[in-house]
Amino acid sequence: MVQICKKASTHTLIALLIAPLIGCGSSGSTIASNSSAGPSGKSIQGPIKGATIWGDGLSSGTRFSIDSAEQGTQTTTSDGGSYTLKTTPSYKYVIVSQGGTDTLTLKPANTMIAPGGAKAVSPLTTLVMLDTTGKLATTLSALLPGGASFDSDFTAISGLSPSALMFITSVTSAVTTLNLAIADATKPGTQVSTLQQNAINMTVFSQLALTLSSLSPADLSNTATLSKGLATGLTNAISSVVSTNPNITVPTDIAKTIADSSVATAANVVGNATGDTNLKNVKVSTVETLPGVTVSTTGTVTESAVITGANLTLVVNTITNTANTASASITVTSTPSGYTPPPITIANNPTVTAYSLIITGNGNAYSVKTFTIAFSDDMVATQSGGTNYAHSVLNPSNYTFSQSGCSPTSYASNTVTFTCSDLKPGTFSVTIPHATATGGVWANGNPPLGLLVDNTKTFTLPFITGSSGGTYNLF
């Protein structure tokens, strides 16, 4: 595990509630030693305008602070939340979104993190990164539409399953409500540092991730068990915030109120969108009563069915009113001088740190002299069946190439080497799919964690004629 202690415009209900999610493309390649652009994506909590995005190194430096070695990756989100890192980090990293303005609410955005190479920087990616069991990403996949994952660009698909919509709405509303309640309790003249605000934000996400990772897809799809689980997570989060922030007092009994109001509202929203009378009738006072209402994990709910004035008003009013009520029992004084944020444990998932392709002109094609992919961690290479083990970096099935003829042949020092037949001019891409319980590359460790997101690299091979090719180093 790694300790961290450092210091988005579509006006739709999905944008409001999914603060969690958004998409990115793959990085390109250039000739010789020129650096290529890094991963692209969006920062969403509502689209976040003006957020600082960078690849935050995990092996050295200060977490959530841009160190000198990280400055080359830094960029700023557009009005619509889009970004492209200036270059792909050559070190183990997480993507951080810090600062900026939520263009939907016009409020300051939360600090969020995502695994290196992710398609999103959002509350949902933050939960997955803080899940040290490695279970949550797989559990969430059972709720999401086919082909979608926790970091998918949800604005680019036709809809969400009803259960996914309820889960996302519940969690996002709960985190927003607690953060807003603490902010509402901050009296004029009280100074809470950005460093402390970031630490509180990450502590809440961390405790929710720990609790939600122990729940099954069935639990997350049921109004009663989701509300109970969310209440437990918020209770733990509040206790942790209070114990590590001596200037803040928050009663744990507001956890149940926030959880119940968040899930009941989410159920109503989904019920309004799907016509499910049982969900429409879920009340805050009885939401935790078993057996609860089970929400479907199949089918989709489109934005046009969800985005109604009534639904938007319902969500915003619930968050605002619940936060206002809770803030009356919270006390906040200024951040103590010399404040040190608590360490937050994040999943030590592997990332791809470098690609290298060296080619030489060979008539009207290219001979491959060297093709390697480097990982941030030592990867599984020979277990239970050798190179064909489902999670081995030497298993050919764990890679997809746009041109045939490449296969992994050796592995050493966190780097896998491929043997390839001649490549044609034009594009040549390789994709390493995100790991699942049944396939995809894993790192050595306990628990073994694999790539959390798809990694695609596209090289551009110049067109050549006869012997005019020469040798090219592509990165």
Task: Report pLDDT for 106.
Answer: 67
Nearest CA-CA partner of 452 in 26, 117, 111: 117
Instruction: Give the integer Cα–Cα distance in Å for 169 and 12.
Output: 13
Instruction: Give the integer Cα–Cα distance in Å for 259 and 262.
Output: 5
Structural tokens at position 316: 């915003």
Question: How far are the Cα atoms of 35, 259, 268, 444 from residue 355, in angstroms, in the given order?
Answer: 12, 45, 48, 21
Task: Report pLDDT for 222.
Answer: 98
Check whether 130 has a pLDDT greater than 50.
yes
Residue given tokens 């309004």 in the structure block: 272
155 pLDDT band (50/70/90 cuts)?
A: low
Check whether 27 has a pLDDT greater than 80.
no
Taking residues 103-116, what's their average pLDDT? 79
Nearest CA-CA partner of 51 in 73, 10, 83: 83
Residues 441-470 have pLDDT tens digits of 999 877 778 888 888 899 999 887 766 668
Coil, strand or helix: which one is 182? helix
How high does pLDDT run on average in the chain?
85
* Between 434 and 11, residue with greater pLDDT: 434
Check whether 123 has a pLDDT greater than 60.
yes
Taking residues 188-203, what's their average pLDDT? 89
| Residues 266 and 276 sit within 8 Å (Cβ to Cβ) | no
Nearest CA-CA partner of 199 in 219, 182, 221: 182
Task: Report pLDDT for 60.
Answer: 77
Task: Report pLDDT for 103.
Answer: 73
Task: Report pLDDT for 203.
Answer: 93
Please provide the distance, in angstroms rounded to a whole number, between the alpha carbons at the two ends of the chain.
29
Across 327-341, b (16+ Cβ under 10 Å) vs e yields beebebeebeeebeb
Q: Report DSSP letters for 2-34, one per residue.
A: EEE-------SHHHHH-TT------B---BTTP
The HSE-up count of residue 245 (CA atoms within 13 Å, CB side) is 30
80 pLDDT band (50/70/90 cuts)?
A: confident
Residues 353-402 have pLDDT tens digits of 899 999 998 888 999 999 999 998 999 997 666 667 899 999 999 999 99
Residues 172-192 have pLDDT tens digits of 889 889 988 999 999 999 999
Nearest CA-CA partner of 425 in 372, 373, 466: 466
Predicted model pTM: 0.83
Q: Give the start-to-end residue ranges of the domains of the chain.
A: 2-346, 352-474
Prior bond of 447 cis (ω within 30°): yes
Check whether 20 has a pLDDT greater than 80.
no
- List Cβ neighbours of 254 (8 Å cut-off, separation of 6 or more): 178, 181, 238, 326, 329, 330
* Between 60 and 462, residue with greater pLDDT: 462
Q: Does domain 352-474 have CATH number 2.60.40?
A: yes
For the purposes of burial, counting CB atoms within 10 Å of the CB of 187, is it exposed (0-12), middle (13-18) or buried (19 or more)? exposed
Structural tokens at position 267: 């159920």
DSSP β-bridge partners for residue 153 = none
Instruction: Give the integer Cα–Cα distance in Å for 173 and 425.
Output: 50
198 pLDDT band (50/70/90 cuts)?
A: confident
DSSP β-bridge partners for residue 459 = 428
Task: Report pLDDT for 357.
Answer: 96
Sign, CA dihedral 174-179-180-186, equals: positive
Task: Report pLDDT for 244.
Answer: 94
* Between 385 and 219, residue with greater pLDDT: 219
Task: Report pLDDT for 9.
Answer: 36
Task: Report pLDDT for 156.
Answer: 61
Task: Report pLDDT for 402.
Answer: 97
Task: Report pLDDT for 13.
Answer: 45
Residues 381-393 have pLDDT tens digits of 976 666 678 999 9
234 pLDDT band (50/70/90 cuts)?
A: very high
What count of other Cβ atoms lies within 10 Å of the Cβ of residue 388? 12
Residue given tokens 């990982």 in the structure block: 375
